[in-house]
Chain A
Amino acid sequence: MSKNEIAISIKGLYKVFGNRSKKMVTHLKDGMSKADLLDKYHHVLGLKDINIDIPAHQISVIMGLSGSGKSTLIRHINRLIEPTAGSIDIYGENVLSMSKGTLREFRRHKVAMVFQKFGLHVHKTVAENVAYGLVIQGMSLKKAKQKSSKWLVRVGLEGFEDHYPSQLSGGMQQRVGLARALATDADILLMDEAFSALDPLIRTDMQDILLTLQQELHKTIVFITHDLDEALHIGDSIAILRDGEIIQQGSPQDIILKPDDEYIVDFIQDVNRGRVIQIKSVMNKGVSIKGPNFNQNTVLEDILPEIVKSAQQMVNVVNDQNQVIGSVDLKTVASAIAKPVIQSNNNTNYTQSSSGD
């Protein structure tokens, strides 16, 4: 389990919807836009030149507005959608060259999926739904139920085994969806807006359930969302999709502090920066003082009162081994918390902390 192992590698992926999609790729490569493609050739651009390496055992978030191609992208990973061009490798294995049978085995054992609208089988009980993946693998229903029951317990559905999905609330239904996906022991978990249909409170609950499970399971999770707070909360890394193109990839800190263009600036407008940005992202490297030490993952909101309290209005930053790696002062923190400014001429300017790494 090397730290930088790549689980999913997508290269030069194009998806165009329409009869002559292959031909459209050449137009796109010549620089045609999504709107022109629709106007002139009546083909819908789904994805354009996607290149992304998804690391193993982490939560990778793909974020974008409605219609940006998120669902299309995630469905390429288990080939529910055939690409128009490009390659998809999973742990070095080419998904696109798999035969139908191999692909089925791959879906049975290697990737599991959680759906926005849950995708439960309404004619089956909760226990039967959770056991579904194992039954498809060829296990008897009885044995599959036995084996999957621990996942049912893990997501907090004990006692609901014999209920039908329609008897459960949305949040509980999605727990069934999650347990069903976990039960197959697949390493890769594809989650397409899995929590988007839920109420805010329940959604936070589900995020926490997922994070708790992930701490022990270390699955490779591809998580789709259109919600930045959700992305920042659970993502180890974030990729932002617009009109079928990935416009920025990076850690949550990168996205907030160094947005690549105005679209992303708009996106991060309403984020509570103080609660997201960690001091390691804004510290002055190497500079240290005689003063209190704080862990690098402390967020600005928590450090602010400490800085104000401190004698030099400055504190040290330490890494997880408690070694001092830098410091932050009041000015740095204040300018990092300041929102990006939109000026009257509609040009968006971003005031970036001068002391990033």
Chain B
Amino acid sequence: MDFLGKFPAMSRGELRDFKKGIDGSFSEFTSEHGEAIESFFDPLLHFLVWFEKLLLATPWPLILLIIGVFSWLGSRSVKIVIGAVLAFVAIGYFGMWKDTMSTLAIVSVATLICISIGIPIGILMARSKYAQAFVTPLLDVMQTIPAFVYLIPVVMLLGIGKVPGLIAVCIYALPPIVRLTNLGIRLVSKEALEAADAFGANYRQRLFDVQIPLALPNIFAGINQTIMMALSMVVIASMIGVAGLGVPVLRSISNQYLALGLLNGLAIVALAIIFDRVTQQYGKRLQKHRHGDLHE
């Protein structure tokens, strides 16, 4: 009766020892390798700091111009260009320019990292079902595990600062680009690939001439998702010392500043919408050949 009423759990002492064991060995690992790992990420830190400083040092009219040009190159839509520039004007007017530049810096760097790691992993997954079987559960974990849980080991290892924040953002934002690269390549038509094989294409020619170009719209949807997820991590990242729009949001939570929270929150939303529209439009233009209306 007693056996059924209460789950036969480990005794409290055993459990404590178990947890202590894990904590202890991780601490040991940290004190042994922490510095080496930190210096491994040093170049990344320097790049991030440099990029953030560059954005902050650039005169604001020039930034507005760059925003406009990028939006135009991506979307070819006057509406989107005007919307993007106006959003940035508003951001500046309400005193959020500096934080926005910091956020822009970390999101850009995180996206670059995710692309350069994620696309090769996606390609590997599309090539081998073993790679796919191995990576898919990892991606599931990365997407579902609460961010705070992996913040703990990252912070233990690297302390508080930009790099752990960047890593946290990347862990969260990496899965979509990997998944969609894999999916995009797997969806490439059998006929197109058979033609490549029949004409004697080697692996490289198949990949770069057929698979990647045909998967590009999906890969681009992945990049879009990755940017969105990186932006949504901004607040959490600011908890471990990343500058940007998340910092005032955190401050307004602890001090109940409604207006401050709202304004900074809206700035994040504005960035998200701009990035989303521009990359989506670009993705659509990549697909034009499919509908036969490419000629402009």
Contact = CB atoms under 8 A, between A and B. Distances in A.
B199 to A, nearest CB: 5
B292 A167 contact: yes
Interface residues of A, number: 31
A88 to B, nearest CB: 15
A136 B291 contact: no
Interface residues of B, number: 22
Interface stretch (A22-30, A99-107, A278-286): A99-107
B289 A120 contact: no
B292 A166 contact: yes
Interface stretch (B147-155, B187-195, B227-235, B264-272): B187-195
Nearest to A106: B200
Interface string B204-222: 0100011001101000000
B199 A108 contact: yes
B197 interface: yes
A281 B186 CA distance: 53
Nearest to A103: B200
Interface string B282-296: 000000011110100
For chain A, what secondary structure do more than half of its interface residues adopt (helix, strand, loop), or is it mixed? mixed
B258 interface: no
A317 B205 CA distance: 57
A123 B194 contact: no
B213 to A, nearest CB: 5
Given A166-B290, A166-B292, A104 B202 contact: yes
B199 A132 contact: yes
A122 B290 contact: yes
A75 B197 CA distance: 11
B199 A112 contact: yes
B259 interface: no
A324 interface: no
Contacts of A118: 191
A136 B292 contact: no
B220 to A, nearest CB: 13
A308 B210 CA distance: 63
B289 A78 contact: no
The 7 A-B residue pairs with the shortest CB-CB distance, nearest first, are A107-B200, A108-B200, A119-B195, A166-B292, A113-B198, A167-B292, A119-B191
Interface of B: 191-192, 194-202, 205, 209-210, 213-214, 216, 289-292, 294
